Chains A and B, each alone.
Chain A
């Protein structure tokens, strides 16, 4: 079922103290879809993304995974059972971070095998074999025994992508995966992501790379001030946006 919704968030609101960062966002991610989220800094894109795997707990809203309710907030439930549900969800929803989040005390290979061994219960040999195959896919097989400190930013992010893929997730969330990279390393990471996209992986990508969004996304979501300004195909958003603000935001991005 190609249109089957994998993740669905309804009525998401998130407040930090008195600041409301996300004010009523609905988002559906369907199987195989590539959703790119654009918008100025502080528009709530990253917070929305982090609510999709419950790294950040929504203040209010409902989250569905494959049509099943994962949680409803504000929640009166005990924190333990909610934590367990969130933990189960995260086995299927991987994440790639702006600053890579590699574990510095582990080799590239061990970074990739940690989840499969300790979360999926895979035996070490099988996990290592699969990890090598994934590192080969991101072009880093020869760096398997290296620690993150000895890798470049682009290489670290590619290891982080391999680590996310190793969980065999239903969807991968990318939080500004190229924003912390030197310009010459952005290309290698984007090309891995494009390859992943063409393999049919479901992806939600918070990014400032408008060109990438234009070419890879099935759907572009433009956010500002905690709400979705406009949502549509790249052609709709980039060629004939209905909102003047969308055009301004995208123009600012292209120039920057």
Chain B
């Protein structure tokens, strides 16, 4: 493979990379919004709301992302065409709805990790439930939710490659097209592998740094392993307890 060859693919790959990044950014924002909604509904004082949300989460988590994507794009294709929804947005919606169920459970666990005494103390001051959540509980739950959120962005970036199967021209799709004209699968796939890697590794370091930073800003205790700068990325961990046991395993 010559340098000029590489140069000639680069614009095409970068164009694909840009679409991947757009897809990741939009899907991450939507996932974050849906997940926050799910977490708050899951701890609603009203039982029917909790039940409906729980059912939705369970259903959503039981569907593989790829299957969901294919179902929405091909199964509902007729109606989507009617709505004029392009493949890009189909992928965004499928990814964020699917991921939100996981991240929402992580957020719920983070909220529920705040002790009952904090609720009691806030309630005894005469704060309403909403004020207690906004002023006392959520600010303390946020640091625990940050590393899983950034990890989820990493996961979404990787999941965005699935959009290639529903005709979105993101990085994986354009590279496959390139392979079909150049017949250089190893070189091209290694190039895009390096691109994904260059994005995900800094993100997991950023997650750890952000957690320490936020804890300091809020005056909370900094986890010792984070304070010493040791980075233990928990990629793919889907709930706090899994994250904790994964971390314990690494620490041991």
A interface residue numbers (CB < 8 A to B): 53, 55, 79, 83, 87-88, 90-91, 93-95, 97, 99, 101-107, 114-115, 118-119, 147, 149, 163, 167
Contacts and interface: CB of A to CB of B under 8 A. Distances in A.
B139 A118 contact: no
B123 A149 contact: no
B146 to A, nearest CB: 14
Contacts of B117: 97, 99, 101
13 contacts: A55-B124, A87-B126, A87-B127, A94-B125, A95-B120, A97-B121, A99-B117, A101-B120, A104-B218, A115-B125, A119-B126, A119-B131, A149-B221
Given A55-B120, A97-B121, A115 B219 contact: no
Given A103-B122, A105-B218, 11 more contacts: A53-B124, A55-B120, A87-B127, A94-B124, A101-B118, A101-B120, A103-B140, A105-B219, A115-B125, A119-B125, A163-B125
A174 B195 CA distance: 60
B126 A115 contact: yes
Contacts of B218: 104-105
Interface string B115-146: 00110111111111101000110011000000
Given A101-B117, A107-B219, A118 B123 contact: no
A149 B120 contact: no
Interface of B: 45, 117-118, 120-129, 131, 135-136, 139-140, 218-221
Nearest to A79: B45
A114 B135 contact: yes
Contact of A55 (B118, B123, B135): B123
A147 B124 contact: no
A131 B219 CA distance: 20
Contacts of B220: 104-105, 147, 149
Per DSSP, chain B at the interface is helix
Nearest to A106: B219
A167 B118 contact: no
A39 to B, nearest CB: 21
A87 B127 CA distance: 7
A79 B139 CA distance: 27
B132 to A, nearest CB: 10
A222 B140 CA distance: 38
Contacts of B125: 90, 94, 114-115, 119, 163, 167
Contacts of A114: 125, 127, 135-136
Contacts of B219: 104-107, 147, 149
